[in-house]
């Protein structure tokens, strides 16, 4: 009897807890949400997007300004033939010459040499012809045959004295362009201006030309110019006529 009672008592014991199969992970507790970090991440994204938008807008804020297409010599009157327009980013700290101001610019003189490809600024020019120290302008009145065709400001020329030594007529009675001296009066004068007609062509009468020379060359050149005994030859900027 006691054995049966013990057996019956054992049959009412609660079953042992079931162990999870080997290799399965226990469920992790739910993560704690951090709304402050989420809000900061959203704020950083918005700031980054705003910054990118500002950069794009500023890159698109461009203006049309003036650029030199050829060298402009010191003291030279600016001409439209040596200018073009180019688009650049607007910058209030730079005194760009806007393309809309080009008609005003061509009435000004270069303070110093402006090199080809330079985006010009207002400080490079002046209403008066301010020559560098040691330079002077000399006016010439040249007859046809005493200057090359297509002469324009900025050209480098060599000036020769023509005619006989006294500045009079030649032996054959014609106005003297014979007896040109082999030694130039000025080896590397710069054409500062050439007077043209309203339609842009050179007048058929004597051609007024202003050249910039070393001040030491002025007396001889001015004497020859007064007698009408000067002829100029266009030469490369680094050379001279022989």
Three-state DSSP string of 90-147: CCCCCCECEHHHHHHHCCCEECCCECCCCECEHHHEECCCCCCCCEEEEEEEECCCCC
In 19-155 the beta strands, taken as DSSP E runs, fall at 62-68, 83-89, 109-110, 125-126, 135-142
DSSP-derived 3-state class of residue 87: strand
- State pLDDT tens for residues 64-105: 999 999 988 777 888 898 999 999 988 888 889 999 999 999
| Residue 230 confidence (pLDDT) | 94
Question: Domain-by-domain residue ranges, the chain?
Answer: 62-126, 135-234
CATH pick for 62-126 out of 3.90.1210.10, 3.40.1390.10, 3.40.50.720, 3.40.50.1480: 3.90.1210.10
For 12, phi then psi, to 5°, come to: -95, 10
- Contact present, 176 and 164 (Cβ < 8 Å): yes
For 170, phi then psi, to 5°, come to: -80, 170
- State pLDDT tens for residues 97-138: 999 999 999 989 888 788 999 999 988 998 887 777 788 889
- Contact present, 146 and 131 (Cβ < 8 Å): no
User: Kind and range of the H or E element at 58?
Assistant: helix 35-59
pLDDT tier at 24, thresholds 50, 70, 90: low
The H-assigned helical ranges of 60-176 are: 102-105
């Amino acid at each position: 009897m006691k054995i049966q009672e013990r057996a019956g008592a054992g049959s009412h014991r609660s079953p042992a807890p079931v162990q999870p199969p080997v290799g399965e992970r226990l469920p992790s507790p739910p993560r704690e949400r951090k709304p402050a970090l989420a809000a900061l991440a959203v704020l950083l994204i918005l700031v980054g997007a705003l910054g990118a938008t500002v950069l794009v807008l500023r890159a698109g804020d461009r203006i049309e300004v003036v650029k030199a297409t050829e060298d402009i010599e010191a003291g030279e009157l600016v001409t439209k033939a040596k200018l073009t327009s180019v688009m650049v980013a607007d910058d209030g700290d730079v005194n760009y010459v806007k393309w809309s101001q080009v008609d005003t610019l061509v009435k000004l003189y270069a303070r110093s040499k402006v090199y080809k490809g330079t985006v010009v600024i207002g400080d490079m020019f002046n209403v008066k012809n301010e020559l560098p120290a040691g330079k002077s302008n000399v006016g010439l009145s040249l007859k046809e045959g005493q200057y090359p065709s297509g002469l324009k400001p900025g050209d480098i020329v060599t000036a020769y004295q023509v005619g006989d030594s006294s500045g009079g007529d030649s032996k054959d009675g014609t106005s003297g362009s014979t007896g040109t001296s082999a030694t130039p009066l000025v080896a590397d004068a710069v054409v500062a201006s050439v007077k043209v007609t309203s339609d842009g062509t050179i007048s058929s009468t004597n051609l007024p030309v202003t050249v910039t020379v070393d001040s030491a060359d002025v007396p001889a050149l001015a004497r020859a110019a007064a007698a009408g005994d000067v002829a100029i030859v266009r030469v490369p900027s680094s050379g001279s006529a022989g």
